[in-house]
Structures are given as structure tokens and as C-alpha cells.
Amino acid sequence: MTATCSDTGLITLEDLRSAQRVLKGVAVRTPLLRVDGLTERLGVPIFVKPEMLQHGGAFKFRGAYNFVAGLSPVARARGVITASSGNHGQALALAAQLFGIAATIVMPTTVPRAKKDGAVRLGARCFYEGVTTAERMAKAFEIQAAEGLTMVPPYDDPMIIAGQGTLGMEICEDLPDVDTVLVAIGGGGLSSGVASAVKLMAPQARVIGVEPEGSPKYSMALAAGEPVTVPANPTGLADGLLAVRIGTRNFVHLSAFLDDVVTVPDSALPRAMQLLLDRMKLVAEPSGAITIAALLEGRVKPVGRTVCVLSGGNIEWDGLRALIGDGEQPS
């Protein structure tokens, strides 16, 4: 089964419902949790959607499983391959394991140990190439051509977008009167899926994208009117959000459904991670905490019932200690 998309190239509510049926009983339906400390401080109800509780420790399982489920038996049997900064790779490795097929993952040489170990533990064959999306994609396409594997895009695909969008559906089902949703922007799979679902189900809600200052690929695309490439190889703490270019389909969806986009400095991420750990007992990786950081930094003024999507929690103990072990207590 493939996502149908409308005449505009946008996924439809039926695409989202189809993905939700595929994922029912397979993906974790993560809860909405109220953050009392922030609610009191900001004067409006603040909730988090903790996707670190998802299989593989991040939202990526939703899209990867939906894509693999939609492949023909012949395409699945060839084995699957992807390029990933880490979380999509783990997600695909798990989806492949559940379908009993082989998975090959190309990750950057700088991939955090938690993400690398997770993919290996799930039985994936792993390669490590360069530090940019372009470098690892080139290596993945080289292996795909040599071995006849099926490529699973990390974000620029309607099945991936619809799978990630089930997260937004759950927000609207659990909080029908939601007013504001904050979601991280990397390559655009999560943000385009969530924005589509929220606007189709709760059109009154604002959806705001959050990017790291070091890789404002959607902000740049919005200014240019089309996807553009970040000029320098981006670096920063939020390794899962350092794509150098927003996906083409993702840009179309975000242009249609996203209300605003803000950027957040690296310096705000450890504080957000520490708040989530101290107050919520949730471990978030830097990318996963960026929506909370946007509130703490005042980059977004929350209006009404506000949901922050926490995209993942794949960080190892040493990495967590290095970031927040000696930090100040969050105020």
C-alpha cells in the first residue's frame, strides 16, 4: 500500500488513518504528560508527547514501520537500506527485524554511541561514512546499486510522513482542544507529518517548528521560497536535526500547514534536558528537548493548551553526564 496524497501532493486524512491502522498494536501510543512546573511558570497548560518511550527510543519507528509494511513482498525480501544520523537507522533495523528481513544502515562517523549500538543490537549491518547527509546518502546509494536493496528514505516520502503524522493524530485525539503544538524540524519528516495531522484534525491549533540555530534549513527555504542547502556543514548538540536541506515533499507540507518557525541556540538544550530529567524523569537527547528549550528561551510564547513533542531520548550515560552532569539546576 502506498500513500495516496491529494492533487496538491499533500498527504490526506485517509493516508494518516491508514498509517494509524498499520501501526495499531505495533507502535507505542505515547501519552500526553502535563509539565506542572512549566504550566505554573508560563501560565498556560504545558504538555509533552514523550517519544523517547517509543520503540527504538524515538518517533522514527512510526514512519519506518509504515514504509516497510507498504512494500511488496518482493521488495521487502531484497532487504532494506537507509542513510541516517542514527534514530531512523535504529527504527528501520527494528522494523526489518519484525518483518524478518535484512537491514543495512549507513551512519555518520560521528554517530553517538547510543544510536550506533542500538542499530547493531537490532541486527543491522552498519557502515559509517562522512559527517553529512550527502556523504552517507551517496554511500547508501552505492551499496543499494551494488546489492539491489530497497531504499527507505529517512523523511522525504509520503509513507514516512504519514507514519510520523500518527503522532499528531494522537495529540488531537487525546487533547481535541489543543491550541499550540511545538515540533522539531530536521529533514522534515516529523514536522511535516505532525503539522499535517494537527491542521487536518484541529485546524484551530497553531503548529510551530523549532530548529537548531546551526542548521536553519527550513527557515532558509522559507525565505528562498524553495529548499536550499545550508552553506556550511552544520555542527551542534542536536545531531538528529542537522540535515543540510529540508526534504522536497516536506517543504510542501510545511509551507501548507506550519504557522511559524523559530531557532534555538545549543546553549539552551542542556537546560531543557535537565528540566525534563529533574521534573518529569524523562531522558531526552538534545534534539528531543529542543521544543522545551524554545519555551525556556522565550522563542515561543505559548498560547492556550500547548504540546511540546519530545522527539527522542537516544543518548548514552556518558553523553548525558557530559552535557548536564555539572550543570546548574534549572530555574
- CA 191-220-82 angle, to 5 degrees, is 50
Just list the catalytic residues: 60, 311
